[in-house]
Amino acid sequence: MSTSSLLATLAGGLYTDENIFALEQQRIFEEMWFCAVRSDDLGKPGAFRTVQVGRESVIVSRAKDGSIRAFLNVCRHRGARLCAEESGEVRRAFQCAYHAWTYDLEGKLIAAPNLTKMPDIDRVAYGLVKVHVREWLGYVWVCLADEPPSFEEDVLGAVVTRLGDLTSIENYGVENLKVGRRIVYDVKANWKLIVENFMECYHCATIHPELTEVLPEFADGYAAQYFIGHGAEFGAGIQGFTVDGSPGVDRIPGVTEDQDRRYYAITIKPQVFVNLVPDHAIVHRMFPLAADRTVVECDWLFLPEVVESGRDLGPSVELFHKVNEQDFDACERCQPGMSSRAYANGGVLVPSEHHIAIFHDWVAGRLGLTR
Amino acid sequence: MIPACPLAALPRGEAYRLDIDPPVAVFHTDDGEVFAVDDTCTHQDASLSDGWLEGCEIECPLHSSRFDLRTGRVDSPPAKLAVRTHGVVVEDGMIYVVPSDAAPNLPPGLAAGRAGNES
């Protein structure tokens, strides 16, 4: 253990250098499990979404048999982008807008001009390039690696590291919840600044007045993520995880007494944050698009009957929406400083931020950099 | 009469491509009827047997023109000409195609007796 109060951060250049970002795309986002799409967003066969994963555009869609498939969004003929839209629905097939090469919902090449004159074309071999898929928490996770890492170790393991076990998250039945609200944030900051921000609470008393009101212990600067299995407790007069401390909506039935009136936060590297409170879950998915740009899709998930009832989710959504805006403003405030000579060697982490050094070591390790 | 395939080998909703010149597509509809038409779309060289069969209509997989299997008529562009229909006989569990005497409506670049597509 270090005896110093301060630990070094990463150097500023790691947040601005396009070559570093390209390396992160290759060795982090294209190698690891990446949380791409809410399964419910793919309602019926043919529904699709396209997402940016590392350097690749990926089509995530529902096949005829109801299962979810993912493909690189590239026609095998001449490389045209197959689906230009962010989301949509095809009736029966994906068709390239260039020469009409046509692929079924399982990715197989089924038609093309003059195809029957080229009987040597293997319609499976020239099908869309498949991407590995897993479903968990009601989300589609994809992995672009030929041999994906263990989902159990990397994804479930991150939850166990934070909460102590898997049961704690299973109690919330996140896969059965419905999206009550989704807000997409276009953040002009490096993805690592957003991860670091989410991991610490040294900033909470300064920039999150509403959150600190609901979770008074956050004023200490020690985030829930500093500990294992710790949920930050609601303040004495607080009735729910809402912007004004008013009662929330119906509690999720599986949530235990120990978990009631507490907030839990989990970072699943490299791009997911899960927040759990008794009556809802908030899931952030980050889509790093450039060294200085990250799109964050944030879902507020409630019991289906709560969403269907049309009840006012405003106070619940407003609390973390404010937190998001406050956090992303802070990240955008940091981004320009990353290329200053004042930050060439980086900055420092105070003790309540020391656990961020583990994240920094992990990033450096993935990129093959020595710190 | 040209033998195509056993009826039992062609489930309802599916197509069989008879590789003669020009090729013929045999369809077994969901209602149990069997039809035969030229396999090639009248608009561009696409195989109708790879298309989408709905009722008595086959939709070209490339540009979505739909042909009525009973008459050969096309519903909407880009195909403009009807596809040639053929007679069908099912005998002893075998599907036979009775080729039409009419001239086929093959797309530009394809002519009967010529398999290539060089322009």
Element (H, E) at A314: helix A314-334
* Total-model pTM: 0.91
The residues near B51 (Cβ < 8 Å, ≥ 6 apart) are: A111, B15, B58, B59, B60, B61
User: Where exactly are the structural domains of chain B?
Assistant: 2-117
A254's tokens: 């599986």
Chain A hits for B46, Cβ within 8 Å: 100, 111-113, 115
Closest by CA position to A77, among listed A132, A145, A125, A130: A125
Residue A68, classed as helix, strand or coil, is: strand
What would the DSSP string read from start to end of A323-367? Answer: HHHHHHHHHHHHGGGGGSGGGTT--EE-GGGTTHHHHHHHHHHHH
Interchain CB distance below 8 Å, A117 and B61: no
Chain A hits for B47, Cβ within 8 Å: 111, 115-116
Dihedral angle over CA of A240, A245, A249, A253, nearest 10 = 0
Closest by CA position to A103, among listed B50, B53, B77, B107: B50
Distance CA(A100)–CA(A91), nearest Å, equals 15
Chain A hits for B62, Cβ within 8 Å: 95, 100, 102, 111-113
Residue of B47, B115, B116 with shortest CB distance to A111: B47
Residue of B23, B51, B116 with shortest CB distance to A116: B23
Interchain CB distance below 8 Å, B62 and A102: yes
Residue of B47, B52, B115 with shortest CB distance to A115: B47
Chain A hits for B115, Cβ within 8 Å: 117
Fold of B2-117: Rieske Iron-sulfur Protein (2.102.10)
> How do the pLDDT tens digits run along chain A, 371 residues long?
557 899 999 999 999 999 999 999 999 999 999 999 999 999 999 999 999 999 999 999 999 999 999 999 999 999 999 999 999 999 999 999 999 999 999 999 999 999 988 999 999 999 999 999 999 999 999 999 999 999 999 999 999 999 999 999 999 999 999 999 999 999 999 999 999 999 999 999 999 999 999 999 988 877 666 678 889 999 999 999 999 999 999 999 999 999 999 999 999 999 999 999 999 999 999 999 999 999 999 999 999 999 999 999 999 999 999 999 999 999 999 999 999 999 999 999 999 999 999 999 999 999 999 87
Determine the residue type at A254. Answer: G
Interchain CB distance below 8 Å, A95 and B62: yes
Determine the residue type at A144. Answer: L
| Minimum distance, in Å, between the CA of residue B95 and any CA atom of chain A | 22
Distance CA(A68)–CA(B13), nearest Å, equals 24
**In a mutagenesis test of the B interface, which of A114, A115, A117, A123 is the best target, namely the one with the most B β-carbons within 10 Å?**
A114
| Minimum distance, in Å, between the CA of residue A51 and any CA atom of chain B | 26
